[in-house]
Chains A and B, each alone.
Chain A
Amino acid sequence: MLVGILRYGGLGLLGAAGVYLLKKNPKPRTVWQIDPQVCVACGNCANYCVLEESAVKCTHAFAVCGYCELCSGCFRPDAKELNTGAENQLCPTGAIKRAYVEDPYYEYVIDESLCNGCGKCVKGCNAFGNGSLFLQVRHDRCVNCNECSIAAACPSGAFKRVSAEKPYLLKETHA
């Protein structure tokens, strides 16, 4: 008898909890994303992802890029020559591909299969360039953990939960 009361009381409580939780502004599904305005390109994204190859990759906002010959995201600030020599490049994996467009503009494209999300190019571009390179979580790779371990390690709190319908926080055009 008592048992029965407890059981149905428990059931009622669970039902009420369910209704309360669902009534509270049910949001569509959310995924993790980096806010490029807050990110400081510390390099943790490459190391803390639970996947072997981090789900965070560098993205290029071509509309913001200055197409400079001496790209400060591609080349070290003290680079002697503007070629693909390892001593001149910032990227440790050689993921930034440089192509001549027209004088004096060069196009820079990121090869995602090589990018490891370390953010060195982002730092360089923010410091000396237009800030068109920024890190983003790629959703074809991200497993969408309940608690993102990169988010827990981010020093500037740049990781946010965004709606799965608009899962990217991109940098738009020139101001």
Chain B
Amino acid sequence: MSGVKAESADNIAEAKKCSPWYQAAAGSAVVGCVFSLIVAGLLIENHLHIKILDPVRSERLEMMKLQVIEQPDGERLLPEIRRLDLQIRRSRITRQQFSRRGGYLLAGGLVVLFVGLKSAAVFRKRAPAPGPPGDVRARQVREALLARRAVMLGLCVLGAAGLILTIKAGVDFGKAQTAGSSYPGAEEIRKNWHRFRGPGGLGISAHENVPLRFSGKTGEGILWKKPVPLPGNNSPILWEGRVFLSGADEKSRQVYCFDADSGELLWMGEVGAVGGSLGKAVEVMNDTGYAAPTMVTDGRRACAIFATGDIGCFDFDGKKIWQRNLGVPESAYGYASSLEMYRNLVLVQYDQGVAEDEKSRMLALDGFTGQPVWEVKRPVPNSWTSPIVVEIADKPQLITCGEPWVIACEPGGGREIWRAKCVGGDVAPSPIYAGGFVFAIEPYDKLVAIRPDGRGDVTKTHVAWIAEDGIPDICCPLSNGKLIFLLTTEGTLTCYKVSDGGMVWEKDMKAGFKASPSLAGERVYLLSDKGVMVVIEAAAQYKELARSELGEACFASPAFADGRIYIRGAKNLYCIGGGD
């Protein structure tokens, strides 16, 4: 632009000789230029307002809206909020209008500018005057040389750019199939105790070298004993060096992470009250408590759910990744279904109310974000069983129990595989898969063995056998594939043959049991509610191998690791090991 002004200054002497058209053209060019600059400046200022100032105002408005809800006297902010909101809306409309009109104005100004400049150029035409030719030959040679050099330079620049781009190697997806999996493989899961009753919910330890006996009085065989801040009936879970527990009372819900070797409490996390559990107290039975469901982990994150419907997920360093409230579950005895995980999905069996209300559902949440991935309605009332995911004929099945259906579906998408109508009552013992059968229990009434290779309603076709003696109401069954053991709350231990349901033996243990039995090698571990651990042989005859006293009440099922057993008493967490 200054070029134009300089020329017009230069030519003012000449301009007096040449036509007034030129002056007009130059003048309109200047006018157009100044006008365009002003409009451009205003448009930029307008744009900055939209991009920078308005979002800041909107954020402030959002914060104030939240304050209104959270603070008891928030109403005083209302006039301010409304004023700010109106201001933002007005500003948005006017600024958009200005943008549009300003655009046209700028275009107009530029047109005036360019027409002026063009006309000025036309009126100021000079005759062509090429300079002296110079040494044509030398110039030719020189130009060819420089051109070659320039192309070579271009080549180098492109080559360098290409090489720099290749330095930061990204992921080669042809080979990225198995690397960096976000969920553990079957082997890893098998070696740990990642959910209620371990892998597949079977209660079977992969390690056979677990201790046989210990003494709570002398401390012999007990590696460490640590208090757990808040009580809960959930069983300990463990993954490599860490043991996870949750505990809760009416006011708070907490997750604990203990070091498996030393017992040190590594971290403690709060699962806060979110949304629906605000203000409304949730009532649970004293026996059940607020933290009955056992946690679940996949080696990267640990999730816990509570009777208030709060579910929280922590990473292994104790940072809370996400939490949600799924709504208070209507459960007669208090919500107690433990969590399960399949790949990246956290599976929640949310049975509540009566079947006609159609409130019960099976939910799958994304382990990364807590976002629901799929959910399926369940035609059942409230139940206290936990879901299991087991691999049957190379395909995973998610098996659940609720009155009156045993349902198996695909854990990836929730699509149903089969269902059988064979259980009733207040179902609390969870199903297991052993010896080729899915076992489900109707408390006090029957044990049902179902063949899991059906599709659709298999009630009439796939129930292999039914047993009716010594059926428990709380403890889950245990099987080593040949024999299946049932333990009632009153202490009756019954052993059936898996193949045909024939009873092998039964024994009155003369103790009360809430914890489910577990298996390590050929030994069955029973933990009474007074803290007495009885180890018997998993054989066709009853044979007691050891009996140890913890000295504390126990309602949770133990967790097994390499050479260790972890038991949660009413107040403490015990690590059994290092002795025997």
Establish whether A and B are touching in the complex (CB under 8 Å). yes
Contact string, A70-114, partner B, CB cutoff 8 A, digits 1/0?
Answer: 000000111010000111000011100000000000000000000
CB–CB A80/B68 < 8 A: yes
CB–CB A86/B85 < 8 A: yes
Interface stretch, picked from B86-94, B231-239, B540-548, is B86-94
- Whether A69 sits at the interface, judged by CB under 8 Å, is no
Give the complex CA separation of A86 and B99 in angstroms. 26
Give the complex CA separation of A92 and B81 in angstroms. 12
Give the complex CA separation of A23 and B92 in angstroms. 49
Task: Name B95's closest neighbour in chain A (CB-CB).
Answer: A52
The majority secondary structure among interface residues of chain B is helix
Q: How large is the interface on B (under 10, 10 to 19, 20 to 34, 35 or more residues)?
A: 20 to 34
Task: Name B50's closest neighbour in chain A (CB-CB).
Answer: A52
CB–CB B100/A52 < 8 A: yes
Known: A80-B68, A87-B65, A94-B89. A52 touches B99 (CB 8 A): yes
Report the minimum CB–CB distance from A113 to chain B (whole Å): 9
Give the complex CA separation of A66 and B38 in angstroms. 52
- Whether B186 sits at the interface, judged by CB under 8 Å, is no
Give the complex CA separation of A94 and B65 in angstroms. 15
Residues of B within 8 A of A80 (CB): 68-69
CB–CB A86/B68 < 8 A: no
Task: Name A77's closest neighbour in chain B (CB-CB).
Answer: B275
Report the minimum CB–CB distance from B489 to chain A (whole Å): 42
CB–CB A76/B58 < 8 A: no
Most buried by A among B58, B64, B65, B81: B65
Known: A78-B69, A94-B89. A85 touches B82 (CB 8 A): yes
Give the complex CA separation of A93 and B54 in angstroms. 13
Known: A76-B65, A94-B89. A86 touches B82 (CB 8 A): yes
Residues of A within 8 A of B275 (CB): 77
- Whether B156 sits at the interface, judged by CB under 8 Å, is no
- Whether B96 sits at the interface, judged by CB under 8 Å, is yes
Give the complex CA separation of A94 and B82 in angstroms. 12
Please report B residues at the A interface, Cβ cutoff 8 Å.
Answer: 58, 61, 64-65, 68-69, 77-78, 81-82, 84-86, 88-89, 92, 96, 99-100, 275
| Pairs A–B under 8 Å by Cβ, sample size 16 | A52-B96, A52-B99, A52-B100, A53-B96, A76-B65, A77-B275, A80-B69, A85-B81, A86-B81, A86-B82, A86-B84, A87-B77, A87-B81, A87-B82, A92-B89, A94-B89
Please report A residues at the B interface, Cβ cutoff 8 Å.
Answer: 52-53, 76-78, 80, 85-87, 92-94, 116
Q: Which 8 A-B pairs have the closest CB atoms?
A: A86-B85, A87-B81, A86-B82, A78-B69, A87-B65, A52-B99, A87-B68, A86-B81
